Structure 1
């Protein structure tokens, strides 16, 4: 098993130098687990921020040969849980297959002022035997 920490050049860069965007855990059969750092995005509304978050997740997955079909877990942090349906409508446009495992919690605030949502993703990439 080999672990690689990565900030893909064609994907959003970290907001600080203190973390990596992707941890890739390679297995002997060529399969891998991808652990994506929490993603936030700019925008005035929760829907705009949610859209930006999922576009960032798509870019990070793609940089590692994965897609939303490979997502097995989603953790969502919202500053206002009463707006869950607004987030859910955006999420459903990106996660169209079998729903992954999920955690959604309300938090008082996030890392960046004005951020209303942060999403963390885990994906399982099949081996290439």
Structure 2
């Protein structure tokens, strides 16, 4: 097993220098699991922030030979669980196949005061990806 940590130049850069955006765990058969740090995005509304976070996630996955179809787990942190349907409608734009395993939490705040949502992803990549 080989572990690589990075923040690919082809994707939006992290908002802080204190973390890597992707941990790639490559197995002996060439397959890999991608663990993405929680992603937030700028925007005035939850929908704008959700869309921006998923666009960053898509770019990070692409940099590692994966797509949204490779997502196997998603964890979402919302500052208002009452906005779950608004979040879900944007999420369905990006995750169009069989839904991955999922957990959604309401939190009192995120590390940026203006952030309304943070999304964390795990994806599985077949050998060669």
Give the deviation of 1:17 after TM superposition.
1.3
CA contact (8 A) 1:7 1:14 kept: yes
Matches within 5 A, 1:57-96: 57-96=57-96
State TM-score, norm by structure 1.
0.98
Question: Gapped runs of 5+ residues in structure 1?
Answer: none
1:110 paired residue number:
110
Could you say which residue in structure 1 is the equivalent of 2:48? 48
1:34 paired residue number: 34
What is the TM-score when the length of structure 2 is the normalising length? 0.98
Distance 2:128 2:11 in 1: 23
- The two structures, once aligned, show a CA RMSD in angstroms of 1.0
The total of aligned residue pairs comes to 129
SS at 1:119's partner residue? Answer: strand
> What residue ranges of structure 2 are gaps of 5+ in the alignment?
none
